[in-house]
Amino acid sequence: MKILILDFGSQYTQLIARNIRELNVYCEIQPCNKPIQYDADLKGVILSGSPCSVNDADAPSPDIAAMAAHLPVLAVCYGAQLLAKQAGGEVGKSAHREYGRAHLQDIGHDPLFVDVPQGTQVWMSHSDTIKKLPEGFKLIARTDSIPVAAFKASDAYAKHAVYAIQFHPEVTHTTDGRQILKNFLIDICGCKQDWTPAAFIQETVARIKAQTGGKKVVMALSGGVDSTVAATLIHKAIGDNLYCIFVDNGLLRKGEFEQVLEGYKHLGLNTKGVDARKTFYKELEGVSDPETKRKIIGRLFIEVFHDEALQLKDVSFLGQGTIYPDVVESMSVHGGPSQTIKSHHNVGGLPEIMHLSLIEPLRLLFKDEVRRVGRELGIDDVFIGRHPFPGPGLGIRILGAVSEEKVKLLQEADAIYIQHLRDSGWYHKIWQAGAILLPVQSVGVMGDERTYEFTCALRAVTSVDGMTADWVHLPYDLLAKISSDIINQVRGINRVVYDISSKPPATIEWE
- Which residues are catalytically annotated? 77, 168, 170
309 CB-side CA count, 13 A = 29
- Whether 36 and 4 have beta carbons less than 8 Å apart is answered as yes
What is the helix (H) or strand (E) element at residue 325, kind and residue range? helix 324-329
- Whether 497 and 458 have beta carbons less than 8 Å apart is answered as yes
Cα 180 to Cα 164: distance, rounded to the nearest angstrom: 12
Sign of CA dihedral 167, 172, 174, 176: positive
Parallel, antiparallel, or unpaired: how do β-strands 242-248 and 271-275 relate? Answer: parallel
> Which long-range contacts link 221-224 to residues 24+ away (Cβ below 8 Å)?
221/245, 221/246, 221/260, 221/264, 221/269, 221/271, 222/246, 222/321, 222/346, 222/389, 222/391, 223/252, 223/256, 223/260, 223/263, 223/383, 223/386, 223/389, 224/321, 224/383, 224/386, 224/388, 224/389
Cα 325 to Cα 14: distance, rounded to the nearest angstrom: 8
Cα 327 to Cα 61: distance, rounded to the nearest angstrom: 23
List all residues 6 or more positions away from 246 whose beta carbon is below 8 Å from its beta carbon.
Answer: 220, 221, 222, 223, 257, 260, 261, 264, 271, 272, 273, 274
Q: Give the torsion through C-alpha atoms of 352, 355, 361, 367, to 10 deg.
A: -30
190: left (phi over 0), alpha (psi -120 to 50) or beta: left
What is the helix (H) or strand (E) element at residue 4, kind and residue range? strand 2-7
Cα 133 to Cα 143: distance, rounded to the nearest angstrom: 16
Cα 65 to Cα 45: distance, rounded to the nearest angstrom: 12
Burial 100-133 (b: 16+ CB within 10 A, else e): eebebeebeebebbeebeeebebbbbbebbbeeb
Nearest partner of 350 among 319, 311, 383, judged by Cα: 319
Name the 3-class secondary structure at 326.
helix
Cα 102 to Cα 142: distance, rounded to the nearest angstrom: 10
- Whether 362 and 323 have beta carbons less than 8 Å apart is answered as yes
